[in-house]
Chains A and B, each alone.
Chain A
Amino acid sequence: MKQIKLYILTLFAAVTVISSCKKDFLERPPLSQITTDNFYKSSSDLRLVTAGLYAQPWNDWNSFPLLAIGDILSGNMLQPYNADLAQLTAFSVTSQNGQMSTSWRCFYKIVAHCNTNIKAINTKVPDSVALKNKNGALGELRFLRATAYFHLAQLWGAVPIIEDNDKLIKDPLLPRHRLADVYRFIVNDLRFAAAALPTRDQAGRVTTWSAQGMLAKVYLTKAGIGGNRKQSDLDSAAFFARNVINTSGLTLLPSYYNLFRTQFNDNPESLFAFQWAPGVGYGNGNAIQTQFAPSSSVVPPGGGWGGAIGPTFDLDSLYTPQDSVRRKATFMLTGDHYPELNAAGGGYTATSCSVKKHVVGTAADNNAPTMDIWSSPQHNTVLRLADVYLVYVEALLGTNSSTSDAEALRVFNMVRKRAGVDPVTTITTEQLRNERRIELAFEGQYWFDLVRLSYYNPQGAVTLLNNQILKNTRVQFSYDPATGKKTRNTNGIVITPPTIATFTLPIPATEITADPKLLDPPAAYY
Chain B
Amino acid sequence: MLMVVFLILLHLKGYAQEKQITGKIVGNDNPMPLRGAIIQVKNKKTATSTNEQGQYSIKANMGDVLIFKMIGFQPQEIMIGDGSIINVILRIESTKLDEVVVIGYGDKTRRDLTGSVSSISGTELLKTQPTTVDQALQGKVPGVVVQQISGQPGGGVSVQIRGLSGFSNNPPLYVVDGLQILPSTGDKGTNPLSSINPSEISSIDILKDASATAIYGAQATNGVVIITTKRGVSGPPVVSYDGYAGAQALPKYYEVMNLREYATFMNEKSAIIGYDLRPQFANPAYLGVGTDWQKALFRTALMQNHNLALTGGDARTKYYLSGTYFSQEGIALGSDFRRISSRLNLDNKTTDWLKLGVSLQLANVKENVTTSQTGVIRQALNQTPDVNVINPDGTWGGNDPNIYGATGTNPFALAKIVKDLKNRYELFGNAYAEIQFAKGLTLRNELSGNISTATEDQFDPIYTMGAYSKTSNSATYSSGKNTFYSLTNYLTYGHSFANKYNLNAMIGHESKVWEYENVSASRTNFPSNNVQAISGGDAATATNAGEKGQTAGESYFGRIDFKYNDKYNITFNVRDDGSSKFAPENRWVTTYSGAFAWKLKQENFFKDVKSIDDLKLRVGYGLQNNQNIRDYAYGSTLRTVTNSLSGNSQIIATSGNPDVKWETTKGYNVGLDVSILNRRVDFSLDAYYKRTDNLLLSLTLPLYSGMVDATGYAPGSIQSPYINIGSVSNKGIEFSINTHNIKSQNFNWKSNLTLSHNTNKILTLNTDAAALYGYAGSTAITKSTVGRSIGEYYGYETLGTYKNAEDFKKYPALPQKGGLPIPITNGSGGVWVGDVIFKDQNNDGVIDENDQVFLGSPIPKFQFGINNSFNYKNFDLNIFMSGNYGNKLYNQVRVDAENPNQNFGYFKNVGEYARIGLINPTGSAADINNVYITNPETSITRISQASGNGNERFSSKYIEDGSFIRCKSITLGYSFKENLLSKIYLKNLRLYAQVTNVFTITKYKGYDPEIGSWNPLAAGVDNGYYAQPRVFTIGANISILNK
CA distance A516 to B208 in the complex (A): 40
Contact A282–B405 (Cβ < 8 Å): no
Contact B715–A283 (Cβ < 8 Å): yes
CA distance A386 to B794 in the complex (A): 50
Given contacts A27-B580, A55-B641, A494-B946, contact A169 B767 (CB under 8 A): no
Chain A, residue nearest B723 (CB): A169
Residues of A within 8 A of B346 (CB): none
Contact B643–A52 (Cβ < 8 Å): yes
B611 contacts chain A at the CB level, 8 A cutoff: no
Per the 8 Å Cβ criterion, residues 775-789 of B in contact with A are: 775, 778-780, 783
B552 contacts chain A at the CB level, 8 A cutoff: yes
A202 contacts chain B at the CB level, 8 A cutoff: yes
Given contacts A165-B707, A494-B946, A511-B704, contact A117 B470 (CB under 8 A): no
Given contacts A48-B646, A94-B948, contact A301 B587 (CB under 8 A): no
CA distance A54 to B715 in the complex (A): 14
Contact A501–B819 (Cβ < 8 Å): yes
Given contacts A19-B511, A54-B643, contact A26 B580 (CB under 8 A): yes
A409 contacts chain B at the CB level, 8 A cutoff: no
CA distance A51 to B538 in the complex (A): 29
Chain A, residue nearest B820 (CB): A501
Which of B538, B643, B705 is within 8 Å of A108, CB to CB? B705
A20 contacts chain B at the CB level, 8 A cutoff: yes
CB distance from A50 to the nearest CB of B (A): 8
Per the 8 Å Cβ criterion, residues 35-92 of A in contact with B are: 35-37, 39, 45, 47-60, 81, 83, 86-87, 90-92
CA distance A110 to B707 in the complex (A): 10
Residues of A within 8 A of B491 (CB): 12
Residues of A within 8 A of B723 (CB): 169
CA distance A32 to B518 in the complex (A): 10
B160 contacts chain A at the CB level, 8 A cutoff: no
Contact A32–B546 (Cβ < 8 Å): yes
Contact A502–B636 (Cβ < 8 Å): no
Residues of A within 8 A of B443 (CB): 8-9, 12
**Of the 9-residue stretches A229-237, A271-279, A424-432, A439-447, which lies at the interface with chain B?**
A271-279
B655 contacts chain A at the CB level, 8 A cutoff: yes
CA distance A283 to B579 in the complex (A): 35
CA distance A492 to B766 in the complex (A): 49
A111 contacts chain B at the CB level, 8 A cutoff: yes
Per the 8 Å Cβ criterion, residues 20-37 of A in contact with B are: 20, 25-37
Which of B635, B657, B699, B823 is within 8 Å of A172, CB to CB? B699
Contact B641–A112 (Cβ < 8 Å): no
A159-198 CB contact bits vs B (8 Å, 1 = yes)? 1101001101111111000000000000000000000000
Chain A, residue nearest B771 (CB): A514
CA distance A54 to B579 in the complex (A): 38
Residues of B within 8 A of A480 (CB): none
A204 contacts chain B at the CB level, 8 A cutoff: yes
Given contacts A39-B650, A284-B715, contact A92 B948 (CB under 8 A): yes
Which of B546, B635, B773 is within 8 Å of A514, CB to CB? B773
Residues of B within 8 A of A372 (CB): 472, 524, 541
Contact B767–A49 (Cβ < 8 Å): no
CA distance A42 to B644 in the complex (A): 21
CA distance A29 to B653 in the complex (A): 15
Contact A280–B703 (Cβ < 8 Å): no
CA distance A311 to B730 in the complex (A): 59
CB distance from B523 to the nearest CB of A (A): 10
CA distance A198 to B706 in the complex (A): 29
Contact size class for B? Answer: 35 or more
Chain A, residue nearest B630 (CB): A30
Residues of A within 8 A of B818 (CB): 499, 501-502
Per the 8 Å Cβ criterion, residues 526-573 of B in contact with A are: 538, 540-541, 543, 546-554, 556
Given contacts A1-B353, A51-B643, A514-B773, contact A496 B702 (CB under 8 A): no
Point out which of A29, A37, A49, A168 has the most chain B C-beta atoms below 10 A from its C-beta: A168
**Chain A interface residue count, Cβ-Cβ cutoff 8 angstroms:** 115
CA distance A177 to B345 in the complex (A): 68
CA distance A149 to B578 in the complex (A): 44
B811 contacts chain A at the CB level, 8 A cutoff: no
B1042 contacts chain A at the CB level, 8 A cutoff: no
Per the 8 Å Cβ criterion, residues 793-838 of B in contact with A are: 794, 815, 817-820, 822-823, 827-829
Contact B543–A48 (Cβ < 8 Å): no
CA distance A37 to B634 in the complex (A): 11
CB distance from A103 to the nearest CB of B (A): 10
CB distance from B924 to the nearest CB of A (A): 15
A133 contacts chain B at the CB level, 8 A cutoff: no
Given contacts A25-B554, A276-B644, contact A35 B546 (CB under 8 A): no
Contact B651–A56 (Cβ < 8 Å): yes
A400 contacts chain B at the CB level, 8 A cutoff: no
Contact B554–A34 (Cβ < 8 Å): no
B12 contacts chain A at the CB level, 8 A cutoff: no
Residues of B within 8 A of A519 (CB): 849
CB distance from B477 to the nearest CB of A (A): 16
B94 contacts chain A at the CB level, 8 A cutoff: no
Contact A20–B548 (Cβ < 8 Å): no
Residues of B within 8 A of A496 (CB): 823, 827-829
Given contacts A55-B644, A511-B703, contact A5 B489 (CB under 8 A): no
Contact A30–B637 (Cβ < 8 Å): yes
A113 contacts chain B at the CB level, 8 A cutoff: yes
Contact B829–A30 (Cβ < 8 Å): no
Residues of A within 8 A of B702 (CB): 172-174, 511, 514-515
Given contacts A49-B649, A117-B652, A172-B705, contact A28 B828 (CB under 8 A): no
B744 contacts chain A at the CB level, 8 A cutoff: no
Residues of B within 8 A of A57 (CB): 651, 716
Which of B353, B645, B770, B822 is within 8 Å of A5, CB to CB? B353
A347 contacts chain B at the CB level, 8 A cutoff: no
CA distance A463 to B741 in the complex (A): 86
Which of A34, A83, A377 is within 8 Å of B638, CB to CB? A34
Contact B828–A495 (Cβ < 8 Å): yes
CB distance from A382 to the nearest CB of B (A): 15
Contact B707–A113 (Cβ < 8 Å): no
B642 contacts chain A at the CB level, 8 A cutoff: yes
CA distance A94 to B445 in the complex (A): 65
A306 contacts chain B at the CB level, 8 A cutoff: no
Contact B767–A171 (Cβ < 8 Å): yes
Which of B553, B642, B946 is within 8 Å of A493, CB to CB? B946
CB distance from B427 to the nearest CB of A (A): 22
Point out which of A296, A301, A513, A515 has the most chain B C-beta atoms below 10 A from its C-beta: A513
CB distance from A288 to the nearest CB of B (A): 15
Chain A, residue nearest B795 (CB): A513
Contact A275–B714 (Cβ < 8 Å): no
Chain A, residue nearest B643 (CB): A55
CA distance A16 to B579 in the complex (A): 17
CB distance from B174 to the nearest CB of A (A): 23
Contact A54–B635 (Cβ < 8 Å): no
A195-209 CB contact bits vs B (8 Å, 1 = yes)? 000000010110000
B404 contacts chain A at the CB level, 8 A cutoff: yes
Residues of A within 8 A of B946 (CB): 86, 90, 92, 492-494
* Listed A/B pairs (5) with beta-carbon separation below 8 Å: A26-B552, A31-B547, A35-B636, A91-B829, A113-B651
16 new A-B contacts, CB < 8 A, other than A30-B637, A275-B643, A276-B643, are A8-B443, A28-B580, A34-B639, A35-B636, A159-B704, A165-B655, A165-B706, A169-B655, A204-B645, A296-B471, A301-B470, A308-B404, A369-B538, A492-B274, A509-B849, A514-B701
